[in-house]
A and B are shown apart, each in its own frame.
Chain A
Amino acid sequence: MNAQPRSLNILIAALGGEGGGVLSDWLIASATREGFPVQSTSIPGVAQRTGATTYYLEIFPQKNVAADKQPILALTPAPADIDVVAASELIEAGRAMQNGFVTSQRTTLIASTSRVYAIGERAAMADGRFDGERIVGAANELARRAILFDMAAMAQTTGAPMNAVLFGALIGSGALPVSRSAAEDAIRESGKSVEANLRGFAAGFEQAQHPSPPLAPEAGVKTLPRNADELVASARAMFPAAAHEVIELGLQRLIDYQGAAYAGLFLQRLTPVARLEQNADADDFELTRETARFLALWMTYEDVIRVADLKTREDRLTRVRAEVRAREGEVVRIVDFLKPGLDELCSILPPWLGEAILNAARKRGLEDRFNVGLHIHSTHVFGFLLLRLLAGLRWWRPHSWRYRLEQALIERWLKAIAGAAALDTKLALEIVECAQLVKGYGDTHKRGAHNFELIARNYFDIDLTRTDTGALTQAIRKARTAALADPEGEALQTEIEKSLAPLTSSSAMPEVVETRH
């Protein structure tokens, strides 16, 4: 019975609230207009609360079937039995493939390359994003035909809901025996936002029929201030070409943060590392590049002066207006949420004073008492002035307590890098990467600095010449990953205990340093 007609099976993979139900209704209506029996089912319910939700449709491509000879249509999608997968998001396309719904003999895969990040990706302490390129690659490999483009962007440019774009691409793909006019009539018949939906439909339809290459993302080119010319020139002379881009970005950041002299210190600090790598005949100069990257970031540590400066930049209001989609003529007011902790305030005082105040408060258990939540109206004159006054303290920064602490930490880190680079570039690189842990504000910064300190004390503030550098590199990488596994630091604690046991027995490792404050 193989030559018998069979249904065309369509799986719509969407996220709750994306209009997958409306899309199914359009499909039902347009297939019905064409005279085809059609059936749809869905799995809503709690899955719709931000979860992945699917709609499943079967269209029977025989017109005007007699009432007593209605086809029997299935209610669940089955692997290797799907003609069209339409996904409104890239990971959902991946999920359809993972479930075996995309096969090269049958499946036309139509998916948006836009991403709605899953909670696991969002909540990661560093970069937890799934590699979207793998999904695109798999789609091109597995599907009979893959139509992939950024439907979210297209929806935005056409001012249409994304499900209309997806519907357009679905019909435009020609995978279903549904004509454009039947589909457009279905949209008209539904009677809601008809104009916008037709616009989105047309755009999606065109893209499926005549794919145009995606627009290249705009490069965020920033120009260096004029007084950087000299620094840039000397950097180009001093460092290998492979590192120029990162170094120039670093210079730009440092000048913006504290000025040209500070940027000069950056180049000075970078020199020994680069020299070591040049002596080792490296070709890609990864160590120099990564050291430059993290050194620039560390030297431009975040303090209240920096935050106030960034929040009062001229281009900020323009950026905010675009982001919140304020229209021409609408007034936008900005309220900033600042709650500097006592330690953050003390850190911009002279070392002796800041330390004294903080110690006194800690002794009395008052440290948290002084956390005052501020709502600063930074588009009001007074709020702006307050921020500007803070930002204006930039000249004072080098005299602050925090400055002194950070510079000492940076010097120690650089010393460890240099020490390691003389033995093993990979080890040095691993030590460089540990600087990734130190970031953020308040408790986040405390936690990161603490984790860095733990790793430094346990793994690299030691006589590296007496260690197995390969094993140590591995151990540091594991510890760094563990530090980013959970904010409570449990994984790092376990990792340190586990990895130091074998290392300490054969080397000059110190005892495990406790991870609690």
Chain B
Amino acid sequence: MERSFKQEVQSLRLGAGDTFHGEGILAVTKALLQSGVSYVSGYPGAPVSHLVDVLTDASDILDDLGVHFEPAANEAGAAAMLGASIQYPIRGAVTWKSVVGTNVASDALSNLASAGVTGGALIIVGEDYGEGASIIQERTHAFAMKSQVWLLDPRPNLPTIVGMVEHGFALSEASNTPVMLELRIRACHVHGSFVCKDNRAAAISRRNPIAEPKFDFARFCLPPWTYSQEKQKIDVRWPAAVQYISEHKLNEVFTGKHDHLGIIVQGGLYNGVMRSLQRLGLADAYGATDIPIYVLNVTYPLIPSEITDFCRGKKDMLIVEEGQPNYLEQAIKATLQERNVTGSAIHGKNVLPQAGEYTGEVVVTGIAKFLGSAWPQGETAGQWKALTEEIRIAKERAADLLGQPVPVRPPGFCVGCPERPVFSAIKIAEKKIGKTHITGDVGCHIFASLAPFHLGNTMLGYGLGLASGAGIAANFKKRVINIMGDGGFWHNGLTTGVTNAVANGDDGILIIMKNGYAAATGGQRIPTSPGSPRVPSRQPRIDKVLRNVGVKWLKTIHSYTVSSMLKALVEASTTPERGLKVIIADGECQLERQRRIRPLIAKQLSEGKRVVRTRFGIDPDVCTGDHSCIRLSGCPSLTIAPNPDPLRKDPVAKVDNNCVGCGLCGEVAHAAVLCPSFYRAEIIQNPTWWDGIVDRVRRVIIGALRPSRSATAVQ
């Protein structure tokens, strides 16, 4: 894992009255324990990975409470685990990155929602939307609506988030419906504090298991019960949810003196709205507002009576709703119309953008625009105009002074990443066998589609690299190259891709990036992670699995040997042999490897043991500044520096001190017949006396062999 959570784990032990300090997602984890949860699962992915990570490190606390924690194979598996709460009164929670995780989970979710639950079932979704998001931009809201799962969107402060976790379970039980808690990226990582309660051991848990199975057709997803379940959702569960939400005042109203106006906002955006009002002279820093605000900590279902109460008598309303379609705006308009609350103009996406994240800038300019049209005579109207002008001018002046946009920094492979050499090899292979269609997959390897490689034509989802090549392969002259990570392989790629391709006799090339972890999500373990598997003797092997499902052409190649990879690629592309050709690119995630070996090396060094450190370098007088090596690598430690030769203008390539000596530079220089500037330096730390003698003798002989400069200069 990317981080150690030893410290965070300790804060999970805090008791009643203690103050927790930390990240939002860890506060949620603590809240789960306070809610008497019996089992937890999830599939990692930013921004909720830390929930899974911290529980992985917290086995003793979970043991004390009898909480069962099990990482799932994928989000569908995690959602299916919530099946435990269908028949039995036990609480369970799962987590994943949304919307992609919700997509994968939706089969199980639909069934779960139809059957309904007895024990509280909570799904914590990390809404990966806006700046820093790594996935397609869609709303989880649609899933809540289609399956009638309740959706919480709490104000992004720790006490509210924690409170909503606790209410989430109760709401789930009160309405026999699973509940989703949506946290945006920044809310997951928000650092704050809250006052804790004691952790609660559940009545039923692995320490106190259920003795007799329970069966109730009313909670079983088969016709005809599915028909009655649909009716029950509308007739029983929904009204029960509405009742719980309004009785416990999960949504909040903040009154203000200008009550001809009003703002309805998703809980998660409340702080942004408050900051905007403060900047517009209409609120203070403590939350006192001049414009009434209705905060939806529950965005589905809506509470019609609360909406009509809030809107009645208001002239102009603004709905601040992030993402599209504007479900809330549509629903609120419909509610007001149905209930004959007329006379208020409802603004929303007409003053705020249809799509994209509602950042501070977006919200403040949107609200200023709303006020400008709804209330032009407002007492602080001058301030609104001045502020929007100030923002515009700040950006314009910067653009003028900078002359051109500053260079972008697309994500790329880390220093020494084992996936980089594979794409270097593909790049070199292209010169020999031409370009072909390349299907990408979810994982770090998708960065190959960016600079400097630009390799990858489509990306269809996690573990779907091979499956997404099936259609194009049949319609493409050359053999298609499909990429898949080992994370994607175990997530579903083995079945969706490999087994099916073999069964259908597909004739493609699959490269499996075997780096040992679900690396892009933060280095979580997968069934084939190196070292200490849960059951060592049962650790699966990707190559054996592939053989067993019928792959005949299979090569495992050490990632960093570019020339072997090049050979395998050319062979796979040109061999007359039909059928799926799989290349396993074998190389451990360098981040994880460094994390593993650095402490070991530090220990050896401090013990005075001989350690050879390897890194690469470039002779600046030999380099001519063409940077071909960078275009075939992109390694962050392979950078540029001013040319030491005053006659030359182009910067030279340079290897900086982050180099981990992976060897790719030398491999590429060879495989691409590139340039003799590269050298590998082996630094012997704590050399033995023998190392010292050999070195000295060599230096003496070499010194004698070397002609003096002044002699060579004369000719």
Question: Which chain B residues (692-715) contact chain A, with CB distance < 8 Å?
Answer: 692, 695, 698, 701-702, 705-706, 709-710, 712-715
- Selected contact of A260 from candidates B520, B648, B676, B715, CB within 8 Å: B715
Chain A contacts of B343 at CB under 8 A? none
Is B646 within 8 A of A138, CB to CB? no
**Is residue A444 within 8 Å, beta carbon to beta carbon, of the partner chain?**
yes
Chain A contacts of B678 at CB under 8 A? 336-337
Given A127-B649, A335-B682, also A312-B706 (CB < 8 A): yes
**Is residue B401 within 8 Å, beta carbon to beta carbon, of the partner chain?**
yes
Q: How far is the CA of A97 from the CA of B401 in the complex (A)?
A: 10
Is A46 within 8 A of B46, CB to CB? yes
Chain B contacts of A448 at CB under 8 A? 626
Is B670 within 8 A of A384, CB to CB? no
Is A227 within 8 A of B401, CB to CB? no
Given A333-B681, A440-B675, A443-B673, also A118-B647 (CB < 8 A): no
**Is residue A182 within 8 Å, beta carbon to beta carbon, of the partner chain?**
no
Chain A contacts of B674 at CB under 8 A? 339, 441-444
- A311-323: contact bitstring with B at CB < 8 Å (1 yes, 0 no)? 1101010001001
Q: How far is the CA of A340 from the CA of B669 in the complex (A)?
A: 10
Question: Which chain A residues (253-269) contact chain B, with CB distance < 8 Å?
Answer: 253, 255-256, 258-261
CB closest residue in chain B, given A335: B680
Q: Could you tell me how many residues of chain A have their Cβ less than 8 Å away from some Cβ of chain B?
A: 137
**Is residue B325 within 8 Å, beta carbon to beta carbon, of the partner chain?**
no
**Is residue B403 within 8 Å, beta carbon to beta carbon, of the partner chain?**
yes
Is A1 within 8 A of B282, CB to CB? yes
**Is residue B408 within 8 Å, beta carbon to beta carbon, of the partner chain?**
yes
- B338-367: contact bitstring with A at CB < 8 Å (1 yes, 0 no)? 000000000000000000010111001000
Is B360 within 8 A of A98, CB to CB? no
Q: How far is the CA of A137 from the CA of B670 in the complex (A)?
A: 43
Is A2 within 8 A of B132, CB to CB? no
Question: Which chain A residues (387-443) contact chain B, with CB distance < 8 Å?
Answer: 388, 394-395, 436, 439-443
- Selected contact of B683 from candidates A7, A330, A442, CB within 8 Å: A330
Q: Could you tell me how many residues of chain B have their Cβ less than 8 Å away from some Cβ of chain A?
A: 124
Question: Which chain B residues (267-326) contact chain A, with CB distance < 8 Å?
Answer: 270-272, 274-275, 278-279, 281-287, 290
**Is residue B685 within 8 Å, beta carbon to beta carbon, of the partner chain?**
yes
Chain B contacts of A442 at CB under 8 A? 672-675
Chain A nearest CB: distance from B708 CB in Å?
Answer: 8
Q: How far is the CA of A473 from the CA of B390 in the complex (A)?
A: 44
Is B626 within 8 A of A42, CB to CB? no
Q: How far is the CA of A493 from the CA of B169 in the complex (A)?
A: 66
Is A142 within 8 A of B627, CB to CB? no
**Is residue B190 within 8 Å, beta carbon to beta carbon, of the partner chain?**
yes
Q: How far is the CA of A70 from the CA of B274 in the complex (A)?
A: 13
**Is residue A478 within 8 Å, beta carbon to beta carbon, of the partner chain?**
no
**Is residue B598 within 8 Å, beta carbon to beta carbon, of the partner chain?**
no
Stretch at the interface among B51-59, B444-452, B577-585: B444-452
- Selected contact of A310 from candidates B622, B646, B675, B691, CB within 8 Å: B622
Chain B contacts of A260 at CB under 8 A? 713-715
Is B360 within 8 A of A77, CB to CB? yes
CB closest residue in chain B, given A381: B701
Is B650 within 8 A of A76, CB to CB? no
Is A118 within 8 A of B409, CB to CB? yes
Question: Which chain A residues (275-300) contact chain B, with CB distance < 8 Å?
Answer: 293, 296-297
**Is residue A122 within 8 Å, beta carbon to beta carbon, of the partner chain?**
yes
Q: How far is the CA of A338 from the CA of B410 in the complex (A)?
A: 32
**Is residue A364 within 8 Å, beta carbon to beta carbon, of the partner chain?**
no
Q: How far is the CA of A375 from the CA of B659 in the complex (A)?
A: 19
CB closest residue in chain B, given A74: B275
CB closest residue in chain A, given B282: A1
Interface residues of A (CB under 8 A from B): 1-2, 4-7, 15, 24, 28, 32, 38-52, 56, 60, 69-81, 91, 94-95, 97-103, 116-127, 129-131, 134-135, 137-138, 141-142, 220, 225-227, 246, 249-250, 253, 255-256, 258-261, 293, 296-297, 302, 304, 307, 310-312, 314, 316, 320, 323-327, 329-341, 368, 371, 373, 375, 378-381, 384-385, 388, 394-395, 436, 439-444, 448, 487
Report, nearest first, the 3 A-B pairs whose CB atoms are least far apart.
A78-B360, A259-B715, A43-B132
Q: List 6 A-B contacts (CB under 8 A).
A: A45-B132, A49-B411, A71-B286, A75-B271, A250-B647, A310-B619
